[in-house]
Structure formats: structure tokens, C-alpha cells
Structure 1
């Protein structure tokens, strides 16, 4: 990075802090701090949803999976695409709740302040770990851009993470949601710039490096990309990694995130709760998330361009996570226009626009559901604001500490994204079924904690023999696919990069393992065998399997599919399981299902049913045998959720008072009046908006397919 790049970076940070100080003067009470006075229109709601939903790790994750899996790697972030139409419906829910935090919703619906406390604890744990992964990611991704890994003899992450944390604290803690939303608007623009900046410059670089700049332009860059990268990298549902993202896996991911996303704490604000009206809530949430999906298309295309241009880069060969950083440095650096600094600012914007919203929402939960509910019931607005700011400070500092000292960031990230299943069933069932009650919710939370988090770690300790039980330690079949095809220019460069990266590793086993096996060698145009091995994965053990004695294999099947020879083998030696136990897979074991032939994607897909259905089943069954909530509490709640929001607060309060006095007035719009089910007839705006959103989803997939096909013979 040059002085111009550092100047761009400093100016960006100064602007964010200035917005925080300006917003602080506008904060008069809790509603101003946590919801910005519920005065945000479509533009700010759009960029709030876009900013909070776009993390710094996502463009780099797509860069990595695009590098290893080709175009199909886009599903590592695009899995959210078909969840977006549901937001057209849920945006109305969050606005009609009229709450400052999602914890308030659990308190009201289940008439239990203790549930508000439980949800607050969940939010703190969830966001500390979730934000820590983003902070760590920024530090790692910034290294190729900065050009150095240490400063003053100290690892750069120990400088970078605290710096980012201080800036988020300065504008987020001081200015509240207003500051977060205005900075999200600016940062959202930066993220969009990030998503498209490398594409034209990357295509031009391809022409300069492998074409004729005097007679060729950007469109020729697409043709060169296809010439240098083999066709199997351009499959949307299959690729060189043998279908890492098949359709069933994508569907399972979509369903899992659909169930869990609605209870992520920030959705009460970015999901529509801070909008002026229901329409602003809907448009902001859906448009903001479609913006993110469009950016994902840009990330995928950038990964393919980087693959064509930088296949010979030893730095990426050693660590594919650095695709984005190296691409920015190699493509934008020579221009000397401050674009490398802008790119780093964009990556930081992606992280910070998520962090500020998460921090403010969680501080609201602690303030309202813990401090004001149990510690100081007569707290003034000023005291509540001070507690909120202190809580936000603790969350960011805690996330920074975890990012700096936690040993297994990726493992904690996976834990964080699974945590929402604790509250997902109580939310969905509570929205539509009167019979659901607080006792059943507590039972469901306890069941989910024990079944999905405690027992998987505890069972192997209580019964060590499980780790060597032949029935629980048999890996899936090892499948070797050998495809004979012409060697491309990118293949030649990949082999050269592998040779250099292996030499640079100097025998370091950890680095060599990350680099992987030697790719095929050969001159461009020659025919070579490309081998992809899949399978051999544990079914019941999250930490993997360790062979006991010599590894032995026997052939199960050999067949040919076109130019690909497939060899299926079974391990015959014993293994020892490591890590936590996949308790939910015992259900399949007891049902007699043979999962030895299952692919990695199938194993991941089968994780869905227990997580999706068991908490719902437990909640429904326990609700039938326990006492329902008081009728007046339920009548008041469902009357409020049926009352259309008026942007004028006074008129809205008047409409609510009328609804509370006569909750039966809404029986005419219920699908099943006289029952415990609270489904209502969809309105025209519900149906039209949902159908249009589904259509946009397919348009985005079509756009991705079309862009990837430009330049193909």
C-alpha cells in the first residue's frame, strides 16, 4: 500500500467517527438510541438490511470456494437467496411488534420476563462469537493488502482488531442506531464498490497479461478467462470439487437458515422494526437483501477472473483465503490510485456495518430485559442509555478478545450459526398457535441445549468406548474420480504455484496439508488425468477419524461416466472418532439407514431434519399437556399483530387501544376462526410482493449464469 491508500483509509475512519458524534446529539431517549425514533424510510432501511446482512467474511469465502469449486462455490453465500421472498412477509411482523428488542416479543407473547433474560444471554453469546470471526477475518484478509504481517515486531492483528473495535465503539456506542444506519448507507455503497471494482480491472489485466491490449478490450477478457480455466469450473451446481454444492444441499441450507434467521436479534431493527411504516419495512428488508445477492454475483465472477489471472500465485496456493486480498493487490496496486486502500476500507465497511447494528441491538436487550426488568425498575432514560452504551462497549471488547485469543475461530463460528435453533421453534409456533406456552418453550430450549450442544460433547466422555465402536467409526466410501481432459493455461499455472508454495513451505507439515496434493503436470493442450477424491468422511464424529494401524482399502465398484473413471473403495481398517458426537445421526442409525455411500453434502443435508423438526415437535407435544397462557394476554398480543401500523405514533396508539378493546374484530380475516390457529388471509400486497420476489430470485440466478457464460465458445 502507498501513502495514497493509507490516506483513503484514514479519511474513511474519520468520516465514520464524525457521523457517530453528530448522531449522539440527536439521541434523547431509548427509542432514539435503539430504533432511531422509528423514522427511517426505504433508503436507510434498505442499506441497514444490506449492511447488517453482509459480513467481511462473505466476499472472501466466495473467493475461496470459487477458487476451489468454481462457479458452484457461489452457493456458500447465495444459499440465502430463496429465503429473501419470505422477508416480504416477516418485515411486517417486526414492525407490528412495536418493540425495541426481540426479547420484548418473547416477554409479551409468553408472559414471561425470564424468557427475555434467556434471550438476552443467547444474544450476547451469539454476537460475541459471531463478531469475533469477522474481526479475525479482517485481520487475515488485510495482510496481502497491507503488504506486511508484523508492525513494530507485533503480529498485525494485534494492531488492526483493536483499531477497528475502537472506531465501531466511537460511532456505534455514542450515536446508537441513527449513527449505525447512516454509516450503513455509506458502508453499503463501499460494499457495492467492493463487489464490482475488481471485475473490469481484472478483465483488463487478463487482456494485458495474455492478450493484445492494442486490439482487445474488456469483452475479450471474458474469452481469455474461459480459455485459461476449464469448463468444469463454470457449473452452477457441480464443479471440480465433485458437486460440493448439489441442489439437495442448497435446499437444506435454505430451510435451515429460514428457520433460524428470524430470531437473530438484529432483525427487530433491520428486519423492519425501525421503519416508518410496514411498506418501508418490507421494501427495505427485501431490497437490501437482494442488493446483497447481486453483490454475491460480483464476488463469484471476481473469483473466476482471479483464477484465470492468478492461478500461478504461490501465496494463494498456500492459503486460498487470500484470493481477495492478493487479487486486489495485484490488480489494483499498479494503478497507484488509492484503490487498494479503498478496497481495504470496503472490507472493513462490510464488517463494521454488521458490528454496529449487532452491538446496539444486544445492548438494547440487556438494558430492557435485564437492567430495567430486574436491577433498576425505575431507571431513567439517561441511566438506560448509559447502560446500553456500556453493554455495547463490553460486547465489542469481548468479541475483540475472543478474536485475538480464541484457539478455534471456525469451530466457534459454526457453533454461533447453530445457536438460533434454541429460539426458532418458540418464535414460529408462537406467531401462529395460541396453545404454545412458556412452560413448553423452556422445555424446548432445555431439550435443544442438551440434545444439540451438551450431549454431543458429554457422551464420549461418559462412554469412551464409543470412539472405537466399529458401528460408529466406519467412514463413508472413498470415491476417486479421474477425468481425462486437455490441460489449460490455468492448470499449468496451478502446478507452477504448487511447486513454489511447496518449496516455500520448507517441510512444514501444517502448511503442506493446506496446500494439498500435487495437481497434474503437463504443457497447455496436452491430455492429462485430473483426480478428485471425495468421501472417506466420518458420519458420527465432528472432529474426524484417526486410523488405527495401517490404512487398508477394498474396491467396492468401478465404472465410467463419459471421460471420467470412478473408483469406489471401502476402508477395512479400524478408526477412532475425535471431537463431538453427532447424536442426531443415531436416529438414522436406529432406522437402519446405510450412510456409507453418502457424500459430504448428503451428510450435511441430513443434519437438517433433526434440527428442523425435533424442537418444533417437542414444543407442540409439551404445549398439549401444559397450561396455556392467559386468554387476555393472548387476545392482546394477536390483536396487536393484526393491527396495521400507522406512521403517526398518536394515531397508531389510538388504533391499538381500539384493537385491544375489541380483539374479536379480526376474526373475519382469520383462516381458521374459532380455533387456536392464528393464520390470516393473505392480502393482495402480500401475494404480489412474494411472487415478484421469487421471480427476482430466478432472475439473479439467470444473471449469474449469463455472466459466467460470456466469452464461452
Structure 2
């Protein structure tokens, strides 16, 4: 018996999972007595649960599908969108300790404590909620896309219009392959361009699904919201342990099945173009060692420092060592999973590259074709678990931002029970808003590439705030306003206006480039005498198609009219507009060069605003406040709350108590000398980074 393509066994597994997590949420309700219980699980999370909390909160099925999609469309170079943090593991060892030591509930409270500015804290709360809702929206969309790919309609159930769209996609794939191989007849180029515009506008695809968008979101959000609204982070911590186990299972279950279907590693290797297997990109895609490095610094060093979840993920630990070991172990486990997801994307390419219209659906197509009854149910439960664990953790700390910085200022002196209930209502609102984002957003890979631009808005000032006494409130206000306009508001607002959307200047594309690579021979290559048999790797001259410079994509405003003006699709990359204005020749650059320039602007512009303005302005009346902040940052956390409070009182009474630990005495920089824990954690992180990447490299070398 099948229901929309699922066996009854699969349905029972999914229902059992949803019932279990709801039960855990209900059981956790009685443990919530105040805001600290709801938002930080009472600051009593031990090492094992801290590991699962960090791994599950930073790992969602969206990332699995994103990585597989990136590997499917870009090759191994594309997986660095999510693998790049492995290079910043040593930095995270220190980051976890900082945010446990600051002893706050939300990230916005940093600005209250450092600058005594409730207004700036409220601005952070608004921006932080908005950025995180985008992330939740991505997770929602991934879950939908994967579920849709696993529930395709059979050909007999397609309408006439749906059959036409599927047929046009098949035609487009064929013409696209010939065009890139310089084998497309001139008279078919116009037809190819028409279909290409339709594809960019999502008007054609490889399949039509049984799954309806709104029904899926109603069940998905309803089930997830139930347990987290009842139990807060208490429920999330317990559920994350269950969900972490399911994540480990679903991440690797398809690899052996796919390899058997391909005939082993040799069969897999024979079907992969050489450029898809370059670990640091081949230059044919956007991802090379330089764009990867720029992305890593922008998103996973600067951006992560201001991330909204730092307090929840690290502040919930009972002490600093627990926060550090939980953060690092969870983070490195995610990088191992990322490698498994990348392999799934490459295997999907080898098996289904001719039938997947949207790389975002590669995971779902692979699951639908390789997994039998029962296994598909486990896969769906794993995907739901991965997304729910992330969204649950995110929605809890977003509710903390909302209640403590946007609601409480207007409703003071209420009971703890009142604020916890408002938090529960705000979680429901956040989840509903994330559904809107999922429905309205564009391609998932494009959203991921956009995130560094948004995360640096507050990442840069938080990074300086932690270590530089000279940072001023005025500088932060000016930098946040300028960067929010350039990176967040204008890129989405301006394309709504036709003169901007269809601007000849803004719809410019790069010039087409000719490249040579090793790739498996096609039937057309054999017909032309270029290879003795299909699948044999030959040197092929390919076209690197023109790419939009300023928009995510450009296409004809009317795909059927060759004379219609080109129109931009998606947001404007304002970083590249800045680069063009200062004189860079963008039209002759490769996609990887454009992406690198985008992230370099993201990295340097905030600091070029913050540092000079701080040097010419002052913080008035904040000397005592600043001294208390930095002495607290030097006071090690004690697991016993009473002893920890007593130690803090000693530090407040003598703000210069730890000045002998400063790396740069008598300066405005608050970096401290390393102790033994700092050193061995740093060295262990480097060893883990080298070991995981080395193992990945060895696997690739065998192909």
C-alpha cells in the first residue's frame, strides 16, 4: 500500500518519530521555571549533551542537501561553502570560551553591557531575528524540496501542461550539453536560449511532485513547533541527542547502495568529469582556493563571531571546558558529515545527472531511486530530525532576543512565567515567518553565497568589541547603518524597480570563455570520431557560459521573445557594484574571481568604517563600564554558581586584577596570554583539521 509514493512502513516510522519528539517536549515542560531554564537549559548542560546540542544545532538536512547540490553542480570545490569552517576549528576553541565567560543570555546584551545602549541591543535583535529567519527558511525549503523529489507523480498522472514542461526540460538538458561542448547546430541556438531563460525562471523541470507546499509546511512546522514551544532549550537538548543519532544514520546510508549500483569506485570514477574532482576547484566554477579562503574569513571567522546563537550554544554549558569541548567535537563531527554529503552529491551526479533539473533536488531524487520501504522512512525521519534540531535551537534563542530586547522594554516587571509564555508565542510567530521566507526565496545555493554579506554587519563590531577598548558606540552605529544599507536592504529592494531590474549596466554578463578539460565521452563524441567508446575520458574544449555580474542571474524578460530586454533575477551584488565603480574590469573575470571580490569587500569594508571612526570619536562616561566588562572576560567560569558569583565580585572590586595576563600591556588591546588549556586545545584542533582533510584528500586520490 502506497500513499503519495510512500510505503505504509515509511509512514509509520515518520509518525512514530513525530509522536516521540512531542512526548519529549511535553515531559520537558515541567522543568522550565524561568527564562534561564527556557533559553539556556539552566546553564547545566554536560559534555555529552553539549556535543549533541552543538552538532545538531549547527547541522541540518538543508546543509546535507546544500552540500550535495553544490557537489552535484560545482564539483568538490562547491562543498567548501560548508566545509570551510574546518579550517577555523582552532578559532572556535577560543570563541566557545569567550561566550561562556561573558555570562549573558543573548548576544544583544553584549551591547547593553559594553556601551549601556539598549537601543543598539534592540537593533541587533531585529537584525539577528531577520538573519536567522532566513536560515530557518532555507531549512524549510530544503525539507520541502527533498520531500517533493521523493514523491514524484508518475507519467500517467501528469496533466498535459505538466507533461509539456517535463518534455521541454529534457530538451533543454540535451541542448545545454551540446552548447557547452561546442556541438550545437547554429539554427538551434535560439531555441536553447529560450529554454535557458525558462529554466532560470523555474518554468520547466524534470518532474512534478505530489507534495503540496502549504500542506507540507502545516504538518512540518506544526510538529516541530509543538515540542520546542512546550520545553524550550530543555526539550531541544534531549531531542538533539535522538536527532543527532538519526543525522549520523541518514548522512551515510545511501553511499554503499549507490556504489553498488555504479559497479564500485571504478564505475563511479569513469562517469565523473575531471574538473568535478578538484578539491579546491578547477577554475571552471566559482570555488577556488582564493574564493574559498575569502568566504571562510567573511562567514566563519568574522560573521560567526556575531552569530545570534553563540550564547545559547556555548552559554548553556556548565563551565568553559564543557563549552569548548562540546563546540569543537560537535563542529568537527559536522565536517565529517559534510564530506559524506559531498560524496552523495558526486554519486548523484554519476547516477542521475541527466534527469535532475534542480541541483537542490539531487538528494531527494537519489533517495527516491535507491532506498526501499523502511529505509525511505528512516531517511525522512533523519531529514526531519536534522532540520527540527536546528530550527528548535534557533527559534529558542530568537525568542530570547525578541522577549528581552523588543518586548520587555515595553512590558517591564512581569513575572518569569509571563515572559516564558510570551517566548512561546514568539516562537510560533518566528516559525510562521520562516515559512514565508521559504516560499518567497530563490535558489538555496545563492542564499548561502549571500550569507557572509549579511553576517558581517554585526560580526565585525562584535569581534572588535571583545578585544579593543577603543571601539566607540558612534562607530558601531555608523558601520551598522552603512553595511545594512549596502549588504541587506538595497540588494533586495532595488530590483523591485523596473529601471533597475532591466538596467543595461546592471544586467551585464561576463564574456564567454573557452576551457579545456578531461571529461567522459558522450555518444555525440563517438559519432564525431573524438572517442572510441562512450565513457572514455578525453580532452574536450568547452564553453564557460556568460555569467551575470551584478544579479544572481539574468534572463530575457519574455523567454519567447528574442528581442525582449534582459532582466535581473534575485538580489544585486552591491559589492561588485563597488568594485566596478573603483575601476575593476569584471567582464573578463572568471566566476571564482567575482565571488572572491564580493567577499573581500565584505571582509574589509566594516573595519574600514569602524576603526577610523573609533579613533576620532570617544565613549563618554563609560570608563568604569568598560573596565568591568573586560575584567569579567578575564575571570574564569566556575561550575558552582555561588562560587562563580563570588569570584566575579572580586574582579569587579579590582578591575586591574588580571592585567598581568594581557599580551600587549598598557594598550587598548585585550588579548590574553595562552594558558595550558588554550595551547592543547589549539594543537588538538589543528590535528583534527589536518587529519580529516588528509583523509578526504586520500579518498579523492583513489578515484
Shared fold per TM-score greater than 0.5? yes
* 3-state secondary structure, aligned to 2:657: helix
The aligned counterpart of 1:563 is none
* 3-state secondary structure, aligned to 2:308: coil
CA shift in 2, pair 1:473/1:62, >3 Å? closer
* TM-score when normalising by structure 1: 0.82
CA shift in 2, pair 1:533/1:446, >3 Å? same
Moved more, 676-685 or 630-639: 676-685
* 3-state secondary structure, aligned to 1:663: coil
* 3-state secondary structure, aligned to 1:238: coil
Q: Say which of 674, 686, 702 aligns to 1:682.
A: 674
Could you report, residue by residue, the CA deviation over 1:163-187 in whole angstroms, capped at 9, with x for unpaired residues? Answer: 1111221111110101111111111
The aligned counterpart of 1:612 is 603
Could you report, residue by residue, the CA deviation over 1:648-668 in whole angstroms, capped at 9, with x for unpaired residues? Answer: 000000000000000111110
Moved more, 607-616 or 35-44: 607-616
The aligned counterpart of 1:249 is 291
* 3-state secondary structure, aligned to 2:543: strand
Determine if the alignment matches structure 1 residue 601 to structure 2 residue 606.
no
Determine if the alignment matches structure 1 residue 367 to structure 2 residue 403.
yes
Moved more, 630-639 or 451-460: 451-460
CA shift in 2, pair 1:484/1:429, >3 Å? closer
Does the 8 Å CA contact 1:535/1:599 hold for their aligned counterparts? no
CA shift in 2, pair 1:124/1:636, >3 Å? same
Does the 8 Å CA contact 1:5/1:342 hold for their aligned counterparts? yes
Contiguous gaps of at least 5 residues in structure 2: 1-5, 159-208
Could you report, residue by residue, the CA deviation over 1:541-579 in whole angstroms, capped at 9, with x for unpaired residues? Answer: 45537699xx99xxxxxxxxxxxxxxxxxxxxx988776
* 3-state secondary structure, aligned to 1:204: helix
Moved more, 687-696 or 602-611: 687-696
Determine if the alignment matches structure 1 residue 481 to structure 2 residue 515.
yes
What is the rounded CA distance, in whole Å, between the counterparts of 1:585 and 1:72 in structure 2? 22
CA shift in 2, pair 1:105/1:136, >3 Å? same
Question: What count of residue pairs does the alignment treat as equivalent?
Answer: 638
CA shift in 2, pair 1:2/1:456, >3 Å? closer
Does the 8 Å CA contact 2:442/2:570 hold for their aligned counterparts? no
The aligned counterpart of 1:567 is none
What is the rounded CA distance, in whole Å, between the counterparts of 2:212 and 2:581 in structure 1? 50
Could you report, residue by residue, the CA deviation over 1:594-615 in whole angstroms, capped at 9, with x for unpaired residues? Answer: 3333111110100122221221
The aligned counterpart of 2:309 is 266
In the TM superposition, 1:425-436 aligns within 5 A as 425-436=460-471
Does the 8 Å CA contact 1:162/1:400 hold for their aligned counterparts? no
Q: Say which of 308, 311, 318 aligns to 2:350.
A: 308
The aligned counterpart of 1:569 is none
In the TM superposition, 1:156-555 aligns within 5 A as 156-207=212-263, 221-239=264-282, 242-257=284-299, 258-270=301-313, 272-311=314-353, 314=355, 316=356, 318-333=357-372, 336=373, 338-372=374-408, 374-403=409-438, 405-406=439-440, 408=442, 410=444, 418-456=453-491, 475-483=509-517, 487=521, 523-524=533-534, 530-534=540-544, 536-544=546-554
In the TM superposition, 1:72-83 aligns within 5 A as 72-83=77-88
* 3-state secondary structure, aligned to 1:532: strand
CA shift in 2, pair 1:197/1:112, >3 Å? same
* TM-score when normalising by structure 2: 0.84
In the TM superposition, 1:2-41 aligns within 5 A as 2-41=7-46
Larger RCO of the pair (alpha carbons < 8 Å, separation 6+): 2
Q: Say which of 644, 649, 662 aligns to 1:657.
A: 649
The aligned counterpart of 1:212 is none
* 3-state secondary structure, aligned to 1:607: helix
Could you report, residue by residue, the CA deviation over 1:213-255 in whole angstroms, capped at 9, with x for unpaired residues? Answer: xxxxxxxx2233223434443221235x824421001101100
Could you report, residue by residue, the CA deviation over 1:502-547 in whole angstroms, capped at 9, with x for unpaired residues? Answer: xxxxxxxxxxxxxxxxxx9984266767453325234344553769
Could you report, residue by residue, the CA deviation over 1:71-124 in whole angstroms, capped at 9, with x for unpaired residues? Answer: 333223212221222110000011011111111122111111111211111122
Does the 8 Å CA contact 1:584/1:607 hold for their aligned counterparts? yes
